[in-house]
């Protein structure tokens, strides 16, 4: 066994297995918390992008709906005028 490895084993024996296990556990908790934080940040960023795209889609959809409603109102007005003219011509024809 190399001298360095023997030194590490000696240090662990001197410090104690319990202390080494506690130190490793603490490191693992910190490591996992940082990983969870990175994951949350990624999800929030992805969620923000999805929200922006949804807002844009809703805006475009509302604009299209407004255009359709304007065209429908225009068509209904034209139909009202045509029906009024038809009614007038029918009334003139009956006299």
Q: In whole angstroms, give the CA distance from residue 57 to residue 65.
A: 12
Which residues, in sequence order, are CB contacts of 12 under 8 Å at separation 6+? 20
- Which pTM value belongs to this model? 0.52
Residues 17-60: tens digit of each pLDDT: 778 788 899 999 999 999 999 999 999 999 999 999 999 999 99
């Amino acid at each position: 066994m190399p001298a360095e490895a023997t030194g590490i084993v000696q240090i662990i024996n001197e410090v104690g297995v319990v202390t080494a296990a506690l130190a490793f556990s603490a490191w693992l908790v910190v490591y996992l918390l940082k990983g969870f934080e990175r994951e949350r940040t990624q999800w929030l960023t992805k969620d923000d992008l999805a929200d922006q795209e949804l807002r844009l889609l809703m805006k475009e959809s509302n604009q299209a709906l407004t255009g359709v409603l304007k065209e429908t109102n225009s068509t209904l007005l034209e139909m009202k005028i045509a029906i009024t003219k038809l009614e007038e011509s029918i009334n003139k024809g009956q006299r």
